[in-house]
């Protein structure tokens, strides 16, 4: 049975796990994913279930979406593909993502 881990936040995790340059490129990826898939003026919270391994997330599925049909699910999946993970993180992880809106 794989260990279930909760990841507290995409940006906080990227800053903890990655260096400043990687964090900046991750933030750019996050902005690109959001503007490509959802309205940046709206807000939403999305929970993903993913598999961590090899420093990245794979096989992500959307567990919940506070604003269904508005593209935040696609934005969250896009962000997860770019999210750096610590090499020691393996197994099933839940990844909460908060899109604050107002941009």
Domain ranges of the chain: 5-99
- For 34-48, write each residue's pLDDT tens digit: 999 999 899 999 999
- Cα first-last separation, the chain: 41
How far apart CA 1 and CA 45 sit, in angstroms, is 28
Superfamily (CATH H level) for 5-99? TonB (3.30.2420.10)
What integer pLDDT is reported at residue 16 of this predicted model? 45
Which pLDDT value is given to residue 22? 67
The rounded average pLDDT for each run of 10 residues, N- to C-terminus, in the chain (103 residues) is 34 45 78 92 96 94 96 96 87 93 80
Does the reported pTM lie above 0.85? no
How, if at all, do strands 44-53 and 5-6 pair?
A: unpaired
CA angle (98, 27, 9) in 5-degree steps = 35
Structure tokens at 69: 């049909």
DSSP secondary structure code for residue 55 in this structure: T
């Amino acid at each position: 049975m794989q260990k279930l881990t909760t990841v507290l936040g995409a940006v906080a995790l990227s800053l903890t796990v990655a260096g400043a340059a990687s964090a900046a490129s991750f933030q750019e990826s996050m902005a690109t994913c959001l503007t490509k898939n959802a309205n940046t003026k709206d807000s939403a919270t999305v929970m993903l279930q993913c598999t961590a391994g090899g420093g990245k997330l794979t096989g992500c599925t959307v567990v919940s979406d506070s604003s269904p049909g508005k593209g935040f699910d696609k934005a969250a999946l896009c962000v997860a593909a770019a999210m750096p993970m610590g090499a020691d993180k393996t197994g099933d992880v839940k990844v909460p993502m908060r899109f604050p809106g107002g941009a």
